[in-house]
Structure 1
Amino acid sequence: MTKFEDIKGFVFDLDGVITDTAQFHTKAWSKLAQQLGVEWSDELQNGLKGLSRMDSLELILTTGGKENDYSATEKEKLATQKNDLYLQFVKTITPADIFPGIKEFLDELNQQGYLMSIASASKNAPTVLSKLELTDYFEHVVDPNTLTKGKPDPEIFIKAAEIIGLKPEQCIGLEDATAGISGINAANEVSLGVGSPAILTEADMVFEDTKEITLANIKAKMNS
């Protein structure tokens, strides 16, 4: 079992951990689903959590029995259309949308010399970080275009450790989705879940409230 003293870096998912852009993804995807004649549901919304843009589109099309109705080029256009909608919503984000306690936690990590990177399936992560005024904290963001597999595959988390020059076992990964937690565990990083312990059952530790995420609280959970 990894000890707190072995940890040198933190790998962050963006959506649901640092801020909530899920609401914008939901609005954009639901609008597209409606346009495609696919019924929107809570089950479909939950199924999209943590998936890449193209995987999300495939799930929507499959749910509506339309997976064979569009060519690869047409699917790309639909995904772009969804992203354009999403970006319109993202423009409204400000630093006030950072989850409680997260900015303080990032400052604490900076002061203590920990390395940080972003492991988000979103190609818009740099835009969101800029709107939140957090770009200076995250010089290292995994480019989703370089990935061959999506979460729960560990690839993105392994790359997120590599770009800050660390081994996965030297990192703690923060995620709010079960697919992400599975990926972190498969990468051999310590998994920190943000959300409900009843849902994030595979996580090494869970914080229901982002205000509780501090180095002292993480150390206490790891070394208990």
Structure 2
Amino acid sequence: MPGGLADAACIVKHIRNCGWCDPCFSGNIFDRCHPNALWVSLVKSCLCYHKVSWTSKEKLVSEKVAFIFDLDGVLTDTAEYHYLAWKRLADEEGIPFTREDNEQLRGVSRRESLNRMLKDRLIDDETAEIWMARKNDYYRAFLANITPNDLLPGVLAFLEESRRRGICLGVGSASRNAKEVLAGLQILPLLNAVGDGYSVVNTKPAPDLFVWVAGRLDVPVARCVVFEDAEAGIQAARAAAMRSVGIGPVARVGEADLICQGLATVTVEEALALL
């Protein structure tokens, strides 16, 4: 097939695989067309419909690449909900708990969060399970009100552009409520895989969760970029041999390959350049 037509065929295949173009493929219009100038014209029309330039520098990614996002502090900010839930539990049990204490719970599992809240206090496993369930009930009550308005600035545009570029998207969150939060934010259809607190045994800073998500996406770890706002998450990305974008202050995410203040302040191209 001539070069231009081969390019068109690749783009058609890509569009089909990404599921962008259901309106353009209704009635299998491309299947009925022969590989000629008309076919190329139809491909160009399809790209125009999706606002992709035929000659744009924002080319489709030729190799399989993945962006893996932490949830809290990267896509949305439910930190206040977590704080209020832990604070209520701590107050009920007579344990001092401040916003500064809450900052130490970023990116770690629920049990590790409880351990850090307790500091040097000791409780048995049965009591710990009961307390964690209470905290989760308080937190989930807040989640009932979460909507797409709770997405952090720039998130939706970044995800949509990444999808348009053919990048696989996943979430790797220590939260067992991750899918519930993503459903409320209405971004689940943009994601190819979600790893949460149920997915692996070893949580961040172990690399297991990010490696699990990469496996679900069928993307090598060397072709993955992790977006994280927690020190434990950056450490997990490094342990997984993935590149990382740290969101937040240098003191917290200084080990990341690229540091920014949110998805509104970084481009897809800058993230891809890390690979």
**Map 1:1-224 → 2, pairs under 5 A:** 8-61=65-118, 63=119, 65-67=120-122, 70-219=123-272, 222=274
d(CA) in 1 for partners of 2:272 and 2:170? 20
Matched residues in 1 for 2:263 and 2:110: separation? 26
Letter in 2 for 1:169: A
What's the secondary structure of 1:118's corresponding residue? strand
Aligned counterparts of 2:99 and 2:150: Cα–Cα separation in 1: 24
How many Å separate the matches in 2 of 1:113 and 1:210? 18
The percentage of aligned residue pairs carrying the same residue is: 34
Partners of 1:87 and 1:104 in 2: CA distance: 27
Deviations, residues 92-146 of structure 1 (Å, cap 9, x unaligned): 1110110111100110111111111110000001100110011111241114223
SS of equivalent to 2:270 = helix
When structure 1 is superposed on structure 2, of 110-119 and 146-155 the one drifting more is 146-155
| Deviation at residue 33 of structure 1 after TM alignment | 1.0
**Contact kept? 2:199, 2:209, Cα under 8 Å:** no
Check the 8 A contact 1:7/1:171 in 2, yes or no. no
User: Shift of residue 197 of structure 1?
Assistant: 2.9
Counterparts of 2:162 and 2:181 in 1: how far apart (Å)? 20
Supply the AA of the counterpart residue of 1:214: T
Whose radius of gyration is greater, 1 or 2?
2
Separation in structure 2 between the aligned mates of residue 34 and residue 55 of structure 1, nearest angstrom: 19
Q: Secondary structure at the match of 2:134?
A: helix
The TM-score normalised by the length of structure 2 is 0.74
SS at match of 2:206: coil
Q: Quick one: distance in 1 between partners of 2:208 and 2:231?
A: 16
Question: In 2, are the aligned partners of 1:101 and 1:213 still within 8 Å (CA)?
Answer: no
Instruction: Give unmatched runs, 5+ long, in structure 1.
Output: none
Contact 1:118 1:142 in 2 (8 A): yes
Q: Which runs of 5+ in 2 are unaligned?
A: 1-60
2:158 and 2:174 mapped to 1: Cα distance?
22
AA partner of residue 215 (structure 1): V
Tell me, yes or no, if the aligned pair for 1:13 and 1:174 is still in contact at 8 Å. Answer: yes
Does the residue aligned with 1:146 lie in a helix, a strand or coil?
coil
Q: Which amino acid aligns with 2:163?
A: N
Deviation by residue 1:4-51 (Cα, 9 ceiling, x = unmatched): 976600111000000001110011001111111111134421211111
Cα distance in 2 between the residues matched to 1:42 and 1:85: 17
Q: Answer yes or no: is the 8 Å Cα contact 1:102–1:213 preserved in 2.
A: no
Deviations 1:44-103 (A, max 9, x none): 212111111111112222x2x322xx3312211110110010011111111011011110
When normalised by structure 1's length, the TM-score is: 0.90
* Cα RMSD for the two superposed structures: 1.8
> How many aligned positions are there?
215
The range that moved more, 142-151 or 132-141, is 142-151
State the alpha-carbon separation in 1 of the partners of residues 62 and 101 from structure 2.
Answer: 41
